[in-house]
Amino acid sequence: MCGIIGLASNKQAAPLALRGLRNLEYRGYDSAGMASIHEGHLWLRKDVGRIDEVNQKQGLDQLPGNIAIGHTRWATHGGVSQKNAHPHADCGSNIAVVHNGIIENHQELRKKLQDRGHIFISETDTEVIPHLIEQHVKEGGSLEKAVILTSQELKGSFAFIVLSTQEEGKIMAIKRDNPLVIGHDANGTFATSDILSMPQCDRVLFPEDDELVILSAKGITMLDSRGKKIDREMISPGIEQQEYDRGNYQHFMLKEIMEEPQAVRAATIQDKKLFTQLAMDILRARQVVITACGSSRYAALVGRYLFSEVAKKFCEVVMSSEFQYFSDSIDSNTMVLTVSQSGETADVTEGVKRARANNAQVISIINRVGSILSRMSDEVIYLNCGPEIAVAATKSLVSQISVFYMLAYTMVNQFDEAANRLKDVSQELETILSHNNSSLEGLAERFKDSLDFYYIARGINFPVASEAALKLKEISYIHAEGLPAGELKHGTLALIEQGTPVVVICPHDYTFDETMSNAMEAKSRGAFIIGVSDENNELYDHWIQIPKVDNLFYPLVSIVPLHLLAYYLAVKRGKNPDRPRNLAKSVTVK
Ligand code: F6R
């Protein structure tokens, strides 16, 4: 959830680290800080606020020295305060650490260290790390050994980067079950939570758990958990600088919505042989369970309808945070499909661990190449939709849904047909995006002060209602619910008042008639009906027009204008849709 970075360079490292840190801000933005070593002295500055605010207050980029570490925080242990911001230091102010993850045994370690006289300043779990390193160094070890021993004492998942006055030209990094990328570029070497923070890098490597990485301006050395030198091959990072630019768009979210048609096309570029094999595996499996969180789970729900309707294959979708409670039912005849944009979500990786422990086959649909999940899975399907920077998922969702079309139709030997149909749909999405903007902006203006929004749909369109509601609440902070239209009368209808906006997703497909009856029930109680459909209807107080597409393909054309509506509502309310409060893009804690 937090972003960490460390650099060893021949130049002043702080401005470089700050630049990288800005690109990690999507991981958390409660507070930020940096540390460097110069002439045997540890420099450490941190504060509450976004990176640029903290830099303005504290002059992070002024820190002297050629090695630096930095952190952008999404608070877990301890409130948002200057003392809880990273880096954290030891008692002697010689060692500084930035950390991402959770140290589960921090209370026990803190108590032990306090008994040995260590003084703690923050409420964080992280602070045990510099004190443990200090303790091991005191007991006579090298810094390298102290870092390895420290990591061995930690329970939980973590990635941390260390610098110390003891080793002025070096930084050290180590991880367990948390993202960490090592690389080099023209300025030296670096360790980071995400390669996106270093778009100009030449080569990268992904260390395994518990391997110590020692970085200097000259190069990278790696040690295994016993301190023995190991070799790792470096690979090309495979990202383009322009993928990281906002271009002329006001927000990344808008740029990424505009990229949705391209995301659909990119998802069709898949290995037909692999898909055929996977489709057979899915059909053969005694049971199929899809697990994911948030928007990725809504994509999985569309997949569930597709598997059933196209290939007559029943499957379950289990939210990853609840997966463990079903893991007793997972066995070697189970196919577990995971869906994750980041490939880092801790709830998902935890589920995969349990599935693997029970010998299930694991296939993952992922966007981020080289992510933890990709390395835990038997097979990986990549979305190929490019980096998604805004916290809210948009283009990755349509891409995930497209992959489910490809899989479902491959199960009935229609891989090429699916690709062709998706390409046609992507053309329709281009049209939606070029026509709907002013009408959606007008609708957003009208409803920007609403307290509640309801979204209803049936069948394969129901996950679209849930996704649209999630998007609205996370970026505009308006309460929203998405539910199967038939469920409205079982309780939620009590909340409908005069003028309450109810978005009804009712294309002319097999769900139309019954969804319209439910919309009528809401309208009779005073709801303002916003119809998302390919044809207008007198029931609608406002019509969001979508094109006519093949039956079963309406989820893709319905979600795009609803992403845009959520975006405009957030902007009209003066919120930054790219950085919603309390949230982070990669949720690496359980
Ligand atoms: C919603 C959103 C989140 C993510 C969820 C899963 O807009 O972005 O709900 O979908 O945190 O993330 P991934 O797909 O990275 O596992």
Given a contact cutoff of 8 angstroms between Cβ atoms, the answer to whether 265 and 426 are in contact is: yes
Rounded CA-CA distance 315/286 in Å is: 10
352 lines ligand 1 (CB under 6 A): no
What is the structure's pLDDT at 238?
Answer: 66
User: Which atom of ligand 1 is closest in space to residue 293's alpha carbon?
Assistant: 6
Confidence of residue 243 (pLDDT cuts 50, 70, 90): low
**3-230 domain in CATH 3.60.20.10?**
yes
Task: Provide the mean pLDDT of the chain.
Answer: 94
Q: Indicate left, alpha or beta for 290 from its phi (over 0: left) and psi (-120 to 50: alpha).
A: beta
| Percent of the chain surpassing pLDDT 90 | 86
Phi, psi of 251 (to 5 degrees): -135, 155
What is the structure's pLDDT at 200?
Answer: 81
Measure the N-to-C terminal CA separation of the chain; round to a whole number of Å.
10
Q: What is the pLDDT of residues 88-102, one digit of tens each?
A: 999 999 999 999 999
Rounded CA-CA distance 527/226 in Å is: 66
What is the structure's pLDDT at 548?
Answer: 96
Residue 175's contacts (CB-CB under 8 Å, 6 or more residues apart) are: 158, 159, 160, 207, 209, 210
Q: What is the pLDDT of residues 516-533, one digit of tens each?
A: 999 999 999 999 999 999
What is the structure's pLDDT at 557?
Answer: 98
What is the structure's pLDDT at 174?
Answer: 98
Atom 3 in ligand 1: which residue has the minimum CA distance? 294
User: Would you call 585 a catalytic residue per the annotation?
Assistant: yes
Confidence of residue 266 (pLDDT cuts 50, 70, 90): very high
Q: Is the pLDDT of residue 241 over 60?
A: no
Please tell me the distance between residue 310's alpha carbon and the centre of ligand 1 in angstroms.
26
Confidence of residue 27 (pLDDT cuts 50, 70, 90): confident
383 lines ligand 1 (CB under 6 A): no
348 lines ligand 1 (CB under 6 A): yes
Q: Of 237, 144, 223, 229, give the one whose Cα is nearest residue 184.
A: 237
342 lines ligand 1 (CB under 6 A): yes
340 lines ligand 1 (CB under 6 A): yes
Confidence of residue 558 (pLDDT cuts 50, 70, 90): very high
Rounded CA-CA distance 146/88 in Å is: 16
DSSP 336-380: EEEEESSS--HHHHHHHHHHHHTT-EEEEEESSTT-HHHHHSSEE
**Which of 69-78, 253-262, 445-454, 554-563 shows the lowest per-residue confidence on average (mean pLDDT)?**
69-78
| CA 212 and chain centroid, separation | 26
Please tell me the distance between residue 309's alpha carbon and the centre of ligand 1 in angstroms.
26
What is the structure's pLDDT at 202?
Answer: 84
Q: Among 253, 404, 587, name the best residue to mutate to test ligand 1's pocket (greatest count of ligand atoms within 8 A of Cβ).
A: 587
Q: What is the pLDDT of residues 170-199, one digit of tens each?
A: 999 999 988 899 999 999 999 999 888 887
Please tell me the distance between residue 289's alpha carbon and the centre of ligand 1 in angstroms.
18
13 lines ligand 1 (CB under 6 A): no
Choosing from 2, 201, 315, 506, the catalytic residue is: 2
Rounded CA-CA distance 91/120 in Å is: 8
Atom 11 in ligand 1: which residue has the minimum CA distance? 294
CA distances from 108 to 10, 105, 114, 544, 590 (A): 40, 6, 10, 57, 20
Please tell me the distance between residue 1's alpha carbon and the centre of ligand 1 in angstroms.
12
What is the structure's pLDDT at 431?
Answer: 93
Choosing from 170, 175, 395, 585, the catalytic residue is: 585
**Which of 201-210, 293-302, 405-414, 502-511 shows the lowest per-residue confidence on average (mean pLDDT)?**
201-210
DSSP code at position 235: B
367 lines ligand 1 (CB under 6 A): no
1 lines ligand 1 (CB under 6 A): no
User: Would you call 2 a catalytic residue per the annotation?
Assistant: yes
Q: Among 341, 395, 398, name the best residue to mutate to test ligand 1's pocket (greatest count of ligand atoms within 8 A of Cβ).
A: 341
Please tell me the distance between residue 393's alpha carbon and the centre of ligand 1 in angstroms.
6
Residue 277's contacts (CB-CB under 8 Å, 6 or more residues apart) are: none
| Percent of the chain surpassing pLDDT 70 | 99
Phi, psi of 40 (to 5 degrees): 75, 10
Rounded CA-CA distance 391/296 in Å is: 13
Q: Is the pLDDT of residue 213 over 90?
A: yes
What is the structure's pLDDT at 272?
Answer: 97
37 lines ligand 1 (CB under 6 A): no
Q: Of 519, 523, 536, 532, give the one whose Cα is nearest residue 566.
A: 532
506 lines ligand 1 (CB under 6 A): no
What is the structure's pLDDT at 116?
Answer: 96
Copy the structure tokens of residue 488. Answer: 């409205």
